[in-house]
């Protein structure tokens, strides 16, 4: 099968030759005809592994996206990462209209998965579920953007002033090489729509996402022979385990605080008492200032040691900011909800963060316009090793919502 992201879409649209302002039924019908091409887009994207540190895979998927933007008549630009250590490049393209509104559509092509994981999650459709590696986070977002652009062109909608598409390759590692460009997009546009996914129980758009920090716990002990002289050593692994266990209760979901230890390493060989151990925790909060109290608590806890003569240190590094609701964001979300109701589709508007952190927060940092999140597909299982899927039934409503939002948005 040829790997064209929008394979079949343009031919499916050739029979549509509409006036400048097509009605709701016309847009809905074309969105329905675009479901199958969107699934082909998803398959093409899923079949390329593109982990955040897999530069070859990221280049391959970037080339795929570039080629299909060109097929849509756009001129994509490759923007190198600005990070000190190499991360994936960005793809940006612009589409001019005859109106005044400036709208940015953002998604990411990188994933949390390691090379070879695709064998566990190949693309497949089972009833209303389309499964695949990173299909929900965030290859569905890319698919919705590309197929929406094709719909806009088929419907001859040009009521906007300018649409900017930006797809980056380092979101899952905090967007170190793309955050500045995303902040700039927030400053320059009246509306930024981010295409992370929605939930499967209730469809929604989001106005709030979490702040993210990383805690690194380092324990230094003393090495010794684990068979003949273990008592001479100071086991850094034991001390690390003690510290993790005594800091396992620091989450407070009612206040949006979540702390989970996710990585650990210790020792070099099996027959040596480990002299060093390092553990990492993922920390989420509703706002950056919430990290202050948990950091203070963690520093107090590490004073309680299990093994004498070990050194325990902790560093909490604040990363991605939170996205918080604004009046302009609420107005855009209400408009999205009204648009969904035009086709009998119900969506909720989430104003409280649920633990996810996204690039929408960077877009909002200096924005004077609206920023809205979760315009991707309904899905489940992001960051799992064998259970990630999107709902096929959400494709038509999401294409309709995005197309209508672009058609009708006024700053």
Partners of residue 371 on adjacent β-strands? 192
307: tokens are 């093994």
Angle between helices 55-71 and 140-154 (to 10 degrees): 10
Cis status, amide bond into 138, omega within 30 of 0: yes
Number of separate helices (H) and strands (E) present in the chain: 11, 18
How many residues can be counted in the chain?
Answer: 411
Q: Could you give the residue ranges of the DSSP H alpha helices within 23-178?
A: 24-33, 35-46, 55-71, 140-154
DSSP symbol at 154: H
Catalytic: which of 110, 137, 138, 290? 110
Catalytic: which of 171, 172, 239, 290? 171
Question: CA geometry: angle at 408 spanning 405 and 410, to 5°?
Answer: 105
Annotated active-site residue 110? The verdict is yes
Annotated active-site residue 66? The verdict is no
Partners of residue 129 on adjacent β-strands? 126, 391
Q: What are residue 350's phi and psi, to 5 degrees?
A: -95, 120
User: Which three-class secondary structure state does DSSP give residue 357?
Assistant: coil
Cβ atoms 66, 186 nearer than 8 A: no
Cβ atoms 21, 398 nearer than 8 A: no
* CA separation for the pair 62, 50 (Å, rounded): 9
User: Which three-class secondary structure state does DSSP give residue 217?
Assistant: strand
Q: What are residue 284's phi and psi, to 5 degrees?
A: -125, 145
Cα-trace Rg, the chain? 23
* CA separation for the pair 139, 144 (Å, rounded): 9
Positions marked active-site: 110, 171
């Amino acid at each position: 099968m040829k790997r064209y992201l929008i394979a079949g879409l343009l031919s499916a649209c050739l029979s549509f030759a509409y006036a400048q302002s097509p009605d709701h039924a016309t847009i809905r019908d074309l969105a329905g005809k675009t479901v199958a091409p969107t699934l082909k887009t998803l398959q093409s994207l899923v079949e390329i592994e593109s982990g955040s540190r897999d530069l070859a895979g990221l280049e391959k998927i970037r080339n795929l996206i570039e080629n299909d933007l060109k097929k849509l008549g756009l001129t994509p630009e490759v923007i190198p990462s600005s990070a000190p250590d190499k991360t994936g490049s960005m793809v940006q393209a612009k589409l001019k209209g005859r109106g005044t509104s400036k709208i940015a559509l953002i998604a990411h092509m990188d994933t949390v998965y390691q090379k070879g994981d695709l064998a566990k999650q190949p693309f497949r459709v089972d009833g209303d579920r389309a499964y695949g590696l990173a299909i929900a986070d965030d290859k569905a977002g890319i698919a919705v953007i590309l197929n929406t652009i094709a719909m806009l062109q088929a419907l001859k909608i040009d009521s906007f002033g300018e649409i900017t598409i930006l797809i980056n390759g380092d979101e899952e590692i905090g967007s170190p090489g793309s955050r500045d460009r995303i902040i700039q997009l927030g400053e320059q546009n009246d509306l930024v729509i981010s295409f992370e996914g929605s939930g499967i129980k209730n469809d929604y758009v989001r106005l709030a996402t979490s702040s993210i920090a990383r805690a690194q716990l380092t324990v230094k002990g003393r090495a010794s022979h684990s068979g003949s002289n273990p008592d001479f050593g100071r086991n850094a692994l034991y001390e690390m385990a003690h510290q993790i266990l005594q800091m396992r209760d620091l989450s407070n979901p009612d206040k949006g605080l979540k702390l989970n230890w996710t990585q650990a390493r210790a020792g070099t060989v099996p027959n040596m008492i480990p002299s060093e151990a390092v553990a990492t925790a993922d920390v989420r909060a509703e706002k950056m200032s919430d990290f202050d109290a948990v950091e203070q608590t963690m520093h107090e806890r590490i004073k309680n040691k299990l093994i004498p003569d070990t050194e325990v240190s902790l560093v909490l590094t604040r990363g991605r900011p939170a996205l918080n609701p604004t009046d302009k964001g609420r107005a855009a979300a209400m408009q999205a909800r009204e648009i969904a109701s035009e086709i009998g589709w119900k969506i909720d508007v989430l104003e409280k963060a649920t633990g996810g952190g996204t690039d929408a927060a960077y877009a909002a940092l200096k924005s004077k316009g609206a920023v809205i999140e979760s315009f991707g597909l309904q899905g489940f299982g992001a960051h799992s090793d064998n259970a990630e899927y999107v709902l096929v039934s959400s494709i038509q409503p999401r294409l309709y919502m995005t197309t209508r939002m672009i058609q009708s948005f006024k700053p």
